[in-house]
A and B are shown apart, each in its own frame.
Chain A
């Protein structure tokens, strides 16, 4: 107790000193702000124009964020003062940012930090497009969403978070999936596009759309412990198809919902995407065009690799490219990549985790589909053992996570000596919903 009182005495002196210092710092800042204000407001009397300037924009997405015609409002100067003090960014950077409109495609692990930073830094207009619903198993990485929004639209949740952070940013909610049929309409309203999606067909589609509409594309991706980042279609730089003219097989491009991802990894990449978007919007620095940043969380290493320039042979952005808006709208991206846009129908033979140690039904054997061939004798002896124990003929049921692999397994088993094998329709997800509510779904 004694020490506490003594501590408080000296603490008081410390606090007074700190207050003194902060006051001095505040005065210093205020005088610098006044100087800056004087520079950007000829006549110094533009304050009254503060609001209502959004309507000056002819676009449906207003590109002003409380900025006056000639500069920043006093409120903005206060809010973004730390930006304004940056020699490399300053008033000019903030003004450009406040007049820019940015579309974030995907409000998931990547899109969360992107949208939050773009809102907080004061872009003029922020559009968010996604058709998904917030799920509990999103929250470990999709930090823009809170438990209260589980079951609700991701876009609604993201927009509400962004509004809470910065109510002066114009938010546009696109509660739909970005697809070839609506992408031209939506993307054309923005200056910059951020690809924060989680699937291959969307990546090709967004890149093609950005080439057609001549929009810079800040593209990020994350899976497992790794991330990648590139700015495409910027200042004559390459597009996604210049780099990857042939889509990889779907097995090579897995999803977080199948392979897992450490939550903070898309967070890191999303922050870098926000940074690149801010750089492009404010025309500050050197955007990551013609280069790819590789992030390896396990070894804490980042590398930046120079990638090829625009390919003259690229079917979309190359010299003789004849890809029209009509071609785009009728292009089947899911067929092109052999991979679905929606995560919810993403089940593919090789996408299931090889061996699930996550959950198991009691009295079951866990066999990855790829090993089934080698395990026929094990199944056979297990059935015989079960028959011996119960004195009845044992039945064989097959279950997988969502019910597709088990169909294939039953098909295989019935042709290989187990004609009575039966499939549990709907997989472990249905088991958890319909049979055992305490059984975890993933």
Chain B
């Protein structure tokens, strides 16, 4: 499998309410969200792109994900949230092209 270019992954976040052409008025940033383990089952994806208003935090991003994928609530309280492969508190402000990973624990062996 080849690495998917960042701007061609599925964009979640409806284009109607967050029109990208309004970028001049209200700048938007694109966030790549990676799902692991149970988060893959719950969302049916390994990665998606989210359009978020500039200045959004990791928490805002999670809130949006929980609206798109209410099932994610199941793992919301027990997961590792990594921003660009590093631990990040939910209050961290996101930048364009940031990569947010949602990592619930696996327990099998």
Binding site for B on A (CB under 8 A): 106, 108-111, 196-200, 203, 220-224, 226-228, 243-249, 251-256, 259, 261, 266, 269, 292, 294, 296, 298-300, 303-308
Contacts and interface: CB of A to CB of B under 8 A. Distances in A.
Contacts of A259: 108
Which 7 pairs of residues, A with B, have the shortest CB-CB distance?
Answer: A223-B108, A248-B78, A221-B106, A198-B109, A110-B109, A253-B107, A305-B82
Contacts, number: 109
A244 B78 contact: yes
A252 B37 CA distance: 9
Contact of A251 (B1, B37, B74): B74
14 contacts: A106-B109, A109-B109, A197-B107, A203-B107, A221-B106, A221-B108, A224-B108, A226-B37, A228-B37, A249-B74, A252-B75, A254-B38, A294-B36, A305-B82
B55 interface: no
A227 B80 contact: no
Nearest to B105: A244
A248 B79 CA distance: 8
Nearest to A305: B82
B24 interface: no
B86 A305 contact: yes
A222 B109 contact: yes
Contacts of B46: 296, 299
A253 B105 CA distance: 7
Contact of A294 (B77, B87, B103, B109): B103
B85 interface: yes
Given A252-B75, A299-B1, A243 B80 contact: yes
Contacts of B82: 305-307
**Could you say which of A108, A244, A300 has the most chain B C-beta atoms within 10 Å of its C-beta?**
A244
Given A246-B77, A246-B78, A303-B85, A253 B109 contact: no
Interface residues of B, number: 23
B85 A266 contact: no
Chain A, interface SS category:
mixed
B78 A252 contact: yes
A248 to B, nearest CB: 4
Nearest to A228: B106
B105 A221 contact: yes
Contacts of B37: 223, 226, 228
B108 A222 contact: yes
Contacts of A299: 1, 46
Contacts of B85: 303-306
A316 to B, nearest CB: 15
A355 B72 CA distance: 22
A273 B28 CA distance: 42
B19 to A, nearest CB: 32
B101 interface: yes
A200 B37 CA distance: 15
Contacts of B74: 248-249, 251-252
Interface string B35-67: 011100000001000000000000000000000
A223 to B, nearest CB: 4
Contacts of A298: 1
B105 A111 contact: no
Contact of A199 (B79, B86, B107): B107
Contacts of A198: 107-109
A220 B107 CA distance: 8
Most buried by B among A106, A244, A248: A248
Contacts of B38: 248, 252-254
A297 to B, nearest CB: 12
A252 B106 CA distance: 8
A256 B107 CA distance: 9
Nearest to A195: B109
With most chain A CB atoms within 10 A of its CB, the pick from B74, B104, B108 is B108
A247 B87 CA distance: 19
Contact of A306 (B75, B79, B87): B87
A306 B108 contact: no
A296 B86 CA distance: 18
B104 A248 contact: yes
Nearest to B2: A299
A294 B101 CA distance: 11
Contact of B103 (A106, A227, A305): A305
A308 B106 CA distance: 17
Nearest to B89: A308
Point out which of B37, B46, B75, B80 has the most chain A C-beta atoms below 10 A from its C-beta: B37
Contacts of B1: 298-300
Nearest to B75: A252
B39 to A, nearest CB: 9
A255 B87 contact: no
Given A243-B80, A251-B74, A308 B87 contact: yes
Contacts of B78: 244-248, 252
A164 B39 CA distance: 42
A397 to B, nearest CB: 31
